[in-house]
């Protein structure tokens, strides 16, 4: 199984202005740096949570059709295409969307054959099945506030502490703790192996 983000989010859950207000920054010269911190914090949150925060496109490849195809990094918006290698010539063929059902309510999401359908016979080859799907919250306003707060805190931490550790007044070095607990309630549990 392979999973690749083919199109990253084009917006962020928090704006530059929100991050600057949080960091109490009034100058424009650090906007590019703050934008980079916002993106890195969002991607860090997505990785920790197993969740897409803003709309993005994913490509999942499988060697065969399982009973149900697990779609990671919810919330799932929809399946764009489901392709497979047909068994004789190995030609990539798009499966009709009427022949499968997408479960967007559960997290992670799932794709199963529609009622009365079975998965087609495919070529016995690596990456014989490719599912392209979109996932993420539709807008920044839809992203839970606890996640946005975590991003702002992370951006503020990085802005104030340009290194992973600080030197305390006593002269000792300390790695700065962080408030990862804000993310815990949004973590996605995986089913299966």
Tokens in use for 178? Answer: 């962080």
Stated pTM of the model = 0.83
Domain topology for 2-53+140-184: Hypothetical protein yqbg (1.10.3230)
pLDDT of the residue at 180 = 62
d(CA 66, CA 122): 12
Nearest CA to 8 out of 49, 72, 70, 53 is that of: 53
Question: To 10 degrees, what angle do helices 145-160 and 31-49 make?
Answer: 130
pLDDT in tens, 117-154: 999 999 999 999 999 999 999 999 999 999 999 999 99
Domain ranges of the chain: 2-53+140-184, 56-135
Please count the residues of the chain. 193
Backbone angles phi, psi at 134, to 5 degrees: -110, 145
- The answer to whether 65 and 1 are in contact (CB under 8 A) is no
Q: For residue 123, give both structure tokens.
A: 């070529």
| Confidence category of residue 162, pLDDT binned at 50, 70, 90 | confident
Question: How would you classify the pairing of strands 2-7 and 56-62?
Answer: antiparallel
What pLDDT sits at residue 78?
A: 97
User: Strand (E) positions, the chain?
Assistant: 2-7, 56-62, 69-71, 76-85, 92-94, 100-103, 109-113, 129-135, 165-167, 173-175
pLDDT digits (tens, 9 = 90+) for 81-92: 999 999 988 899
Mean pLDDT of the chain: 90
């Amino acid at each position: 199984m392979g999973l690749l983000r083919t199109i990253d989010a084009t917006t962020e859950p928090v704006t530059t202005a929100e991050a600057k207000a949080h960091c109490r920054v009034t100058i424009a010269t650090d906007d590019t740096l703050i934008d980079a911190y916002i993106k890195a914090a969002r991607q860090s949150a997505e990785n920790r949570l197993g969740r897409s925060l803003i709309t993005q496109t994913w490509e999942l490849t499988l060697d065969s059709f399982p009973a149900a195809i697990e779609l990671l990094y919810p919330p799932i918006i929809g399946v764009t295409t489901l392709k497979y290698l047909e068994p004789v010539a190995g030609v990539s063929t798009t499966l009709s969307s009427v022949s499968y059902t997408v479960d967007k309510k559960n997290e992670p999401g799932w794709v199963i054959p529609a009622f009365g359908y079975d998965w087609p016979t495919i070529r016995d080859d690596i990456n014989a099945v490719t599912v392209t799907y979109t996932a993420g919250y539709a807008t920044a306003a839809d992203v839970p506030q606890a996640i946005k707060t975590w991003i702002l805190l992370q951006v503020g931490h990085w802005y104030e502490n340009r290194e992973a550790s600080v030197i305390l007044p006593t002269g000792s070095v300390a790695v700065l703790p962080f408030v990862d607990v804000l993310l815990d309630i949004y973590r996605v549990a995986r089913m299966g192996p």
